[in-house]
Amino acid sequence: MPPLRDKFSIHSRAVVCQDVEMRGDITVGAGTVVHPKAAIFALVGPIVIGTNCILEEGTILVNRRKEVMRIGDENLFEIHCRVESPVIGDCNTVSTKARLHHTVRLGDFCVIGAGCLVVPVEDEVLPDYTVVYGPNSERRVWSGRGKLQEQDLRRKHAEYLREMLPKFNRLRRSE
């Protein structure tokens, strides 16, 4: 199968820095912020990123499947995380240097802790409010307490980045 032609659809209110490495068919939703040195690779199927997401430096998103990789709204991908999950719900946090394999799908309000590796043998869906933490990638369920404060903080973070990043970086537009 021939590789996908590069095709980027970036919403006019999204902030995608010029030195983000992008390959394949990629759609970036309104209000999403992609820091410099991030990488988005739609190797086989397309990647669709929802609204108001934050992809920090060194984040790598990869789609090796034919199906569309769907990333919901208001997700935070911290520095040097790697995500190959075909489906990510809304309001999730993938912490610094965490890795998600292509056999796992995230629900909503999940937290993958710093340095955690989530590699199930068979396809698995992490239910809403799942927290993966510690050196052995242990799991528990979060009560959801404080989620509104977390969402407000994330919105303010994204708002600040949308204002500041264009002052110091060139931006990428749709091609």
Under the banding of pLDDT at 50, 70 and 90, the label for residue 2 is: low
- pTM for this one? 0.92
Domains and CATH numbers, the chain: 7-168 (2.160.10.10)
**Number of Cβ atoms within 10 Å of the Cβ of 13:** 13
Under the banding of pLDDT at 50, 70 and 90, the label for residue 175 is: low
Under the banding of pLDDT at 50, 70 and 90, the label for residue 138 is: very high
Tens digit of each residue's pLDDT (9 = 90 or more) over 40-73? 999 999 999 999 999 999 999 999 999 999 999 9
Under the banding of pLDDT at 50, 70 and 90, the label for residue 108 is: very high
d(CA 70, CA 63) in angstroms, rounded, equals: 10
- For residue 17, the 8-state DSSP code is B
Lay out the sheet containing 25-28: strands in order across.
7-10, 25-28, 47-49, 69-71, 87-88, 104-106, 124-126
Single-letter amino acid, residue 47:
I
